Structure 1
């Protein structure tokens, strides 16, 4: 009973906090208010340690979404994790995760940003290794080490900002922009954000983090951990304008979008397909951010959070029903057995594709039209549109495998759709996935974007989506020989499926050698030579001397006889001389 109590308390608290943030945000946005709070923790001599909090429409809106999704996820966990003996520990870890994210959101100070940033990294490691097996440990280590790179860059930013006399970066952005030497801060912030938001070459940790329980995946991959990097860049956006490094970020995020879209079409693990879809959307957010449109990136971040959390929750229900099987080739026809879950899954999938008048349509359509209006080259244009087509492609392929194809698992099965706790939490997010796009568009953009395009370019999004959907349908219906022809040679399909061998590069190529090198240093220096010539060596020498002196202190007769004989021999030699 106690473990359910903490679920309900945290659910109601976060839901209340979300509603409160919504009303505050509406008031702030209508009256154009920004509140900057400073709370002096310690004043000692001439030094003062100050905790600062920034409350504006952006931080309040993001907190509202984070607390709403986390409250729903905690309520969902009550049923999903009901066989877990340590459910309290799981809920407390999730709450720590949410509070770390909230600290990151409200911080205008780079020190408190590091606290939230590191809190996210540490708690995500604890959640990824929650199911204690070797796969989870490996995934957790890869996640932690990839995120540590970003932490190191944030630490370097902190040391670099000591030149200014304060760590409240908000006041210095304009000055930094004009300071030639301070462009290093911008570069370090971009690299830190790329590690947290899993852009190439740090992409391999995101699908590996699927080893965590599904409610954690729903929270991590929608509104918290992976969006922290995007949010940081939105806050530092003024500093990043007109930077050459943004062009590199645009290329890398475009390639991330394309690579994850291709990999999702070769993947058969249900959760990994959704994780690769998250990676694709993160690439979209980072690339539109590097074009200098932070509000648009923030808009897509919020709409994406809703339907992605719902998609993961639906996947969790399906995996539960299928006795913890995640291979989509063994599923099929589930819309006949679990119609309500299938409804939620289809609507969230369509929102992801950008089907008109669902949440994803408003942000994706606007992003692609702004790309069409931009003066970037044809390669960037192709990356955006092909990646959009691939999103439609893997979404339709997933729908076909799950909903329409035949059930392939066993002859006797019992699929049911009566877990009302999971369904209630999913229906709340379903409602938000439908209305959040249009309502956010009214709230965020106080001015209309002027978009002037020829008819064919305006309809390009629809053409690409239809083409991708038809291809996804055709590929899911191919027989085994056609699939072999389509998936080309074994090596090429392996290359595309394994994210261009990025997991191998980051585990064996980078982490393995560094960890091996660290182990050799530990063995040969810390536990070898330095032990011999410092602590352990001194200990052995002192031990030998103390044993030797101890013999004298014991008043041993043999010692006195031996000393007497030595003395007599010495005296005889002296007399002989």
Structure 2
């Protein structure tokens, strides 16, 4: 019964992907945008409406989300086969996909917020899916980090009440000339930074690897982490005139660099891939901050394909390694599981930007636009060094997984015949190879004419080759002096721990804020506030009601006390008069 449910979901999502593809082709060919609106409630000229925006961008993104989620659900049929509550897992994944689709299709801040918050809530449920202390801590870190972005969106909704409607798509031009624009754009940027895990909110993304691997494949390719980038792409016209974009460029460049370095020191297979996602998110954010929203969207879509494949391959390898994720215990896998190794290597090469794979078309175009733009040297170096670092950690991963000796145990169970997982992976493999050229023809109706000197034009290839050579040399321990410097304790602990960001954010900020919240609840909500308002008011009214009740019941004592009091007053008055 459960297997039938999984297959039905896969079929439904796959057919939905085809429908989105046909709709996207029709809308882009006829140059149309469909805007659908349903009024839910209206009061005092303020309308709460449910809106849908169907244009080529939303349908293309939905097509990719549907394709990846259908592959992930089919993959889960085998990966989660020993799970007793498989239906619950699939329903959570479907809720996750539905929240993302709501966010993609919404031109309205209210429905965007519903999708945004839905992503945060369901991601928490999925991160704590394997119920242990590590998962609970990771889930709490994830949900608290994302709450910051939720609060920012709530503040945007409050600010947008000035305009009489939450359909931001109509007000982007008006907001450009308005004093509210700076506040709204800052809130949107901060919200996107938390969801897309930019510095200083990067700690939650590697921690979210506590979730099952199919969820990681979905989260890190096309759903949760890309929500912030997608929101900034939609708000791009508003953000172009703000000075916050310079801040965003610096922060995203630093994120890209930090994640690239940390991935070189990591030994957890899933965390290495998570840090590579963080690096790619920094790349998307930084190109967005330069104003090239179409390039950021192009990178987002191509990255989704090979990153989903990379996680699927990692999941299959972890499965065969008796749920061990440490790459130091792996090795020689290309001998035993050639098809999985093939998929892993191709997705790795696509990530690095090897020519004519999916990642090359977007990465090469982005770096050439950077070379042609009027940027300072620091940002220029951040881009190119981060590209080299991508190749560095990819070659290191290949060395540990494919080339070194197998290190786990003498009796092992490596097999390459799980055809359910392989079918999902081969579908993603096909898209990882062709999606770059396919999208570059489909998305850009005019060619980007980039004129650069030969050496600058070839700079991407030079950097990739240099990064690969260094990665190989350091992995083979050929450069002993460089290794001694790289692996020195203080430097390696600083770089491998993401510049101490998880510690600072988890134990510093999160813990302090939670402690502050606890003290506020204790001393104000349950203390003075309760004494003077809730319980205090209750006690005063209770005492007065007892007195009034005694009067109303004609209690004899009251009249006796009143008579004695009256007699005393009269006696005192008479004595005064005498």
TM-score when normalising by structure 1: 0.92
In the alignment, what sits opposite 2:414?
A: 415
CA distance in 1, matches of 2:513, 2:41: 40
Question: Bigger CA drift: 535-544 or 444-453?
Answer: 535-544
In the alignment, what sits opposite 2:375?
A: 376
Q: Residue deviations 1:411-457, cap 9 Å, x none?
A: 11121111111000000000010110000000000000010001100
CA distance in 2, matches of 1:362, 1:480: 33
CA distance in 2, matches of 1:492, 1:46: 60
In the alignment, what sits opposite 1:290?
A: 289
Q: Residue deviations 1:241-299, cap 9 Å, x none?
A: 13211011001000000000000001000000000000000000000000010000000
Task: Report the secondary structure of 1:49's partner residue.
Answer: strand
In the alignment, what sits opposite 1:72?
A: 71
Task: Report the secondary structure of 1:400's partner residue.
Answer: helix
Which segments of 5 or more consecutive residues in structure 1 lack a partner in the other structure? 548-566, 568-577
Cα deviation for residue 545 of structure 1 reads 12
Task: Count how many residue pairs are aligned between Structure 1 and Structure 2.
Answer: 558
Cα deviation for residue 488 of structure 1 reads 4.2
CA distance in 2, matches of 1:535, 1:161: 34
Alignment of 1:36-435 (within 5 A): 36-42=35-41, 48-435=47-434
Q: Residue deviations 1:381-413, cap 9 Å, x none?
A: 100000000000000000010000001111111
Task: Report the secondary structure of 2:405's partner residue.
Answer: coil
CA distance in 2, matches of 1:296, 1:198: 20
In the alignment, what sits opposite 2:19?
A: 20
The answer on 1:5 being equivalent to 2:40 is no
Q: Is the 8 A contact 2:219 2:225 kept in 1?
A: yes
Q: Residue deviations 1:72-117, cap 9 Å, x none?
A: 1011111111111111111111000000000000100111110100
In the alignment, what sits opposite 1:472?
A: 471
> Against the structure 1 CA distance between its residues 525 and 440, is the aligned structure 2 distance closer, same or farther, given a 3 Å change threshold?
same
> Against the structure 1 CA distance between its residues 241 and 275, is the aligned structure 2 distance closer, same or farther, given a 3 Å change threshold?
same
> Against the structure 1 CA distance between its residues 510 and 86, is the aligned structure 2 distance closer, same or farther, given a 3 Å change threshold?
same
CA distance in 2, matches of 1:143, 1:20: 33
CA distance in 2, matches of 1:252, 1:369: 21
CA distance in 1, matches of 2:302, 2:448: 18
Which segments of 5 or more consecutive residues in structure 2 lack a partner in the other structure? 547-563, 565-578
Task: Report the secondary structure of 2:247's partner residue.
Answer: helix
Q: Is the 8 A contact 2:99 2:118 kept in 1?
A: yes
Q: Is the 8 A contact 2:222 2:304 kept in 1?
A: yes
> Against the structure 1 CA distance between its residues 29 and 541, is the aligned structure 2 distance closer, same or farther, given a 3 Å change threshold?
closer
CA distance in 1, matches of 2:189, 2:533: 43
Q: Is the 8 A contact 2:152 2:188 kept in 1?
A: yes
Q: Residue deviations 1:305-363, cap 9 Å, x none?
A: 00000000000000000001001011000111111111100000000001111000000
CA distance in 2, matches of 1:138, 1:480: 39
Q: CA RMSD in A?
A: 2.6
In the alignment, what sits opposite 2:489?
A: 490
CA distance in 1, matches of 2:156, 2:228: 15
TM-score when normalising by structure 2: 0.92
> Against the structure 1 CA distance between its residues 480 and 330, is the aligned structure 2 distance closer, same or farther, given a 3 Å change threshold?
farther
In the alignment, what sits opposite 2:571?
A: none
